[in-house]
Structure 1
Amino acid sequence: MYVKYSGSGYCNAPYINSFVIRLVHNFNGLPDVRVKTKSQSPAAAPNYSLSDTTCDNGNTTEYYTETGYYRHGEAGGDVIRSSSMRTLTHC
Structure 2
Amino acid sequence: MNGKEYSIYFYGCDSSKKNCTSIQFATYWSGKRLTAESVNQWNADKRFGKLFLDSDGDLNLQMDVNMDYGVTYKNMEDTFDIWKTVLEDVIDTI
Q: So what's the TM-score if we normalise by structure 1?
A: 0.35
Higher helix share: 2
Higher strand share: 1
